[in-house]
Amino acid sequence: MNKTLCINFDFTSRFLPPVYILVFIVGLAANGWGLKSLKLNWKKLGNINVFVLNLGLTDILYLLTLPFLVVYYCMGSKWIFGDTFCKITRFCFNLNLYGSIGFLTCISVYRYLAIVHPMRAMGRLTFTRSVAISIMVWLLVSVQSLPDMFYIKTFGNKSEKCYETTTKSDVENYLNYSLGWTLTGFCIPFLITLGCYGHMIVILCRKDTIDKVLKQRCLSLLLILILLFCVCYIPYHVLKNLNIWSRGLSKQGICYEWFNGVYIAHQISRGLVCLNSALNPLVYLHGHEDIPAHLRQLLQRAHHMFSRPPSTNSGNVTMTQITDLNGRV
């Protein structure tokens, strides 16, 4: 088979820009609302709020790079912002991805200690320790992501590429790095999170003395984490490494029909993994009792706004209109 026909690269330019635009709009709105809610409910969440705040910061850091990627793919994968900014953009993605996984793991461990070992955890899960652990997560994720910046990211003169991984010339070395990165940055935190919630669910089901509201919150958070891992994280890591491996085979002159399917699936997984920036706010919104009521209030206001007939007399302001605008008479 001809190498040029092995993979259809046009799919990326058609698929990713709409996804990035949607994630940028929804993600900024959701994180803005979530951080505002976090500020209002800071004391309710306890020391876990430090991890939640950092989770939101990783999302916003990545979301701000999406407009540049939209321009890149809309121009037919032509990077016009320079090699340094290409590496910064990819670095921000990695900080968001593995920072999110790290802080979600910290939230899971804190939940586990507070429910399964409440006496041991009492007085130990302090604000200062939460800040120290958050700094450690940022440092670990940065150290893991830093080697990625030393790989070649751009290629070409007039029509430069900004590779998510690296050029084909160094793809074998990058595969080894990526596999190690996947193990330390994804697999180990995933197993820790799974173990914490698995044991936590067993404890919650066995003990009848635990508050039902607490059980519901833990179960809802577990479902959110399952959604994030199954939709965003697991497919991306599996398909990313498989795609790098197929690129290595292609470099050796080997080309199979499934290469194109792997490439397309990997691009879809890239779209799914960036959804974590829009889904992460669910983690810090799910535990607030006022969120459902606030959502209903917003929907009622929107329904009233669009269902209200237009005023026939612009010169007169009725008492109903004053009530609608100000929320009170």
Which three-class secondary structure string do you get for 102-119? HHHHHHHHHHHHHHHCHH
pTM: 0.83
How confident is residue 320, by pLDDT bands cut at 50, 70 and 90?
very low
Residue in the structure block whose two tokens are 């992501």? 145
Q: How far is CA 38 from CA 30, 34, 135, 267, in A?
A: 12, 6, 20, 33
**DSSP type of residue 154:** E
Residue 158, pLDDT above cutoff 60: no
Tell me which of 7-11, 296-300, 317-321 is least confident: 317-321
Instruction: Tell me if 286 sits within 8 A of 224, measured CB to CB.
Output: yes
At 175, is the secondary structure helix, strand, or coil? helix
How confident is residue 46, by pLDDT bands cut at 50, 70 and 90?
low
Domains within the chain, CATH numbers bracketed: 8-288 (1.20.1070.10), 292-329 (no CATH)
How confident is residue 252, by pLDDT bands cut at 50, 70 and 90?
confident
Alpha helices in 207-254 (DSSP H): 212-227, 234-251
Question: Which tokens sit at 300?
Answer: 């009622």
**Phi/psi at 264 (5° precision):** -65, -45
Please write the tens of the pLDDT for every residue from 192-242.
Answer: 999 998 888 888 777 776 667 777 777 777 888 888 899 999 999 999 999
Residue 302, pLDDT above cutoff 70: no
Closest CA to 290 of 106, 84, 37: 37
Residue 133, pLDDT above cutoff 90: yes
Q: How far is CA 316 from CA 5, 304, 312, in A?
A: 69, 20, 9
First-to-final CA distance of the chain: 75
